[in-house]
Structure 1
Amino acid sequence: MKKLINAIDAVVPEALAGMAAAHPGELRVDPEHRVVYRATPKAEGKVALVSGGGSGHEPLHGGFVGTGMLDAACAGEIFTSPVPDQIVAATTEVDRGAGVLHIVKNYTGDVMNFEMAAEIVDMESGIKVATVVTNDDVAVEDSLYTAGRRGVGVTVLVEKIAGAAAEEGRPLEEVARIAGAVNAAGRSMGMALTSCTVPANGKPSFDLPDNEMEIGIGIHGEPGRHRAPIAPAAEIAKRLVEPILAELPVADGEDRGVIAFLNGMGATPLLELYLMYGEVAKLLDAAGITVARSLVGDYITSLDMAGCSLTLVRATDEMLRLWDAPAVTPGLRMGA
């Protein structure tokens, strides 16, 4: 194993310290609770957004803390849920009097710990908390880490769109509604060319021969639908697009197209991601799907895994307007 680390048990706190050093005007890090906050809290009377999960998926979630997106992100150990104490500290700290929205990926530990934290916050401080659980992965219904579908790429889009709604000053119920609508309108599918290597394990999470790829992989290295011989990008794009379109909700009223998000898993060059997006765009055009907005790059990764995922969200006018709103975070900057 070759990693740019000092000690295996210090990777997460030292990475958080590095984030704080790199973005002193944007982020503040609580090293005790391992929570990333906005350096300057938002105005009183606005809903705050808290998310989090296991580390190793950067820039998710800490990289999306800032204007137009999250108010705080809780960092668990690598591929391990943050604990309730972290979430309680973050929720209590960021509340500006209008309540807090928890955005939670559908993994058993994340759901359980955020639920426990919301109950503790209610008992101790009475802060109103709403929760949206993302579950957009069409690859498998249940997995090693979940009951039901995994929350993957749509999480980034939920944090962006719900963050813009909160920035506008909408009430908690409205922010939660739009977050839930984005999740319900989104579907994702991923694939891997290589495994990832968790520092504590010191070896790849699974064996994947050089001439094979994994279709439907999870962001923690969970097995997908099946393995197949390695194929050209055009064929891989087809294996991502077709199952998503089979389950993508139909347009409600006038069709506004989709937000298309082609995501890298951490070790795929941007050259290849753009090539893959080109193949995806051809398939969507052939299927009569209009791409209203697009995003390409590494936004929800799996350490050093080579591969990609595709997320499509059936967009409304409201979603597109909020997507276009300014966001200023280390991991995503738009309209500013």
Structure 2
Amino acid sequence: MKKLINDPADVVGEALLGLAAAHGDRLRVDHDNRVVFRKDAPVAGKVGLVSGGGSGHEPMHGGFVGLGMLDAACAGEVFTSPVPDQIIAATRGVDGGAGVLHIVKNYTGDVMNFEMAAEMVSAETGIDVVAVITDDDVAVQDSLFTAGRRGVGVTVLLEKIAGAAAEQGRPLAEVAEIARTVNAQGRSMGVALTSCTVPAAGKPTFELGDDEMELGIGIHGEPGRRRIPLAPAKEIAALLVDQIVADLPFRAGDPVIAFVNGMGGTPLLELYVMYHEVAHLLGKAGITIARSLVGNYITSLEMAGCSVTLLKVDDELVRLWDAPVNTPGLRWGA
């Protein structure tokens, strides 16, 4: 194992120290609870957005805290759900009187701990808490960490779009409904070319031969649909796009946000090759790309590979996507 770390047991805490040092102009970190807050939280009269999950997926979620996106993010241990006490601290810390939206990826531990925290904080404080669960991965049903489909790339798009709605002062019910719409209209699928190494484990999560790839991989290194021979980018793009388009389905004339996400170990050079192939396939299908996003946004440590996410949008969702955002991981118009 070669990593730029000190003690594997300290990696999450020390990363949060670095995040706070690098982005103290827009963030503050509760190091006791390992919660990243928007610097001006709570914002009076604004719906607070809280998300979180295991560390190792950076910039998600802590890198998406700031104006126009999340108000707080809870950092669990690497690939481990945050605990209820963290989520309670985050929820209390962002309550500006308009309620709090929990954005939860569909992993069993995440769902259970967010539910428990919401019940406890509502009972103790009366804060109105609504949860929206993302489950956009078309690859597998009931994976190692889930009951149902996994929450993956759509989570990033949802946090941005719902964050914009909350920034506009919309009420909790409306922000939650926008979030549900985004989840319902988005689909994702990924592929891994290599495994990743959890610092505490010190060895790769799984083994892949030099001529193999794992189709439909999860962000924690969970197995996908099948292991197949390594293929050129155009064939990989077709394998992913065909499954995504068939699942919703997406039809000719549908405008989409097309998101090609790196898993942490794939250079932008290759991600743009993949985006070119995805755009070509969508063009052939008559699907219009309204907006695009390319880069490492929801990663799996140093895993090589990528995921593709397509989100059906209308003019309203595009306006919310275009609205100003100022976070360490995503920034425009602000």
TM tier relative to shorter chain: over 0.9
Q: 1:256 deviation in Å?
A: 5.1
SS in 1 for 2:41: coil
Q: Distance in 2 between matches of 1:271 and 1:195?
A: 20
Q: Which residue of 1 aligns with 2:328?
A: 330
Deviations 1:283-327 (A, max 9, x none): 000111110000000000000000000000011111111000000
SS of equivalent to 2:188:
strand
Aligned to 2:313: 315
SS of 1:15's partner is helix
- SS of corresponding position for 1:28: strand
> Where do 5+ consecutive residues of structure 2 fail to align?
none
Residue number in structure 1 paired with 2:227: 227
In the other structure, the counterpart of 1:14 is 14
Q: Are 2:301 and 1:303 equivalent residues in the alignment?
A: yes
Quick one: which amino acid aligns to residue 18 of structure 2?
Answer: G
Residues in 1 aligned to 2:270 and 2:295: alpha-carbon distance in whole angstroms: 10
- Of the candidates 279, 282, 294, which is equivalent to residue 281 of structure 1? 279
Q: Give the structure-1-normalised TM-score.
A: 0.98
Cα distance in 2 for partners of 1:250, 1:296 equals 20
CA contact (8 A) 2:64 2:328 kept: yes
> Which SS does the other structure have where 2:32 is aligned?
coil
- Corresponding residue SS for 1:182: helix
Secondary structure at the residue paired with 2:76? strand
CA contact (8 A) 1:56 1:79 kept: yes
Q: 1:171 to 1:249 in 2, by over 3 A?
A: farther
**Identity in percent:** 73
* Residue equivalent to 1:152: 152
Question: Does the 8 Å contact 1:249/1:314 carry over to 2?
Answer: no
CA distance in 2, matches of 1:191, 1:271: 17
Q: What's the RMSD between the two structures over aligned residues?
A: 1.0
Query: Structure 1 CA distance, aligned partners of 2:249 and 2:279?
Result: 19
1:334: how far off?
1.9
1:84-163, aligned counterparts within 5 Å? 84-163=84-163
Does the 8 Å contact 1:48/1:95 carry over to 2?
yes
1:211-242 superposed Cα distances (whole Å, 9 cap, x missing partner) = 00000000000000001110100000001100
Cross-structure match for 1:212: 212
TM-score (norm 2): 0.99
Please give the per-residue CA displacement for 1:52-104, whole angstroms capped at 9, x wherever unaligned: 00000000000000000000000000000000000000001110000000000
Deviation track 1:137-186 (CA, whole Å, cap 9, x = no partner) reads: 00001100000000000000000000000000000000000000000000
Residue aligning to 1:272: 270
Give the residue type in structure 2 aligned to 1:293: R
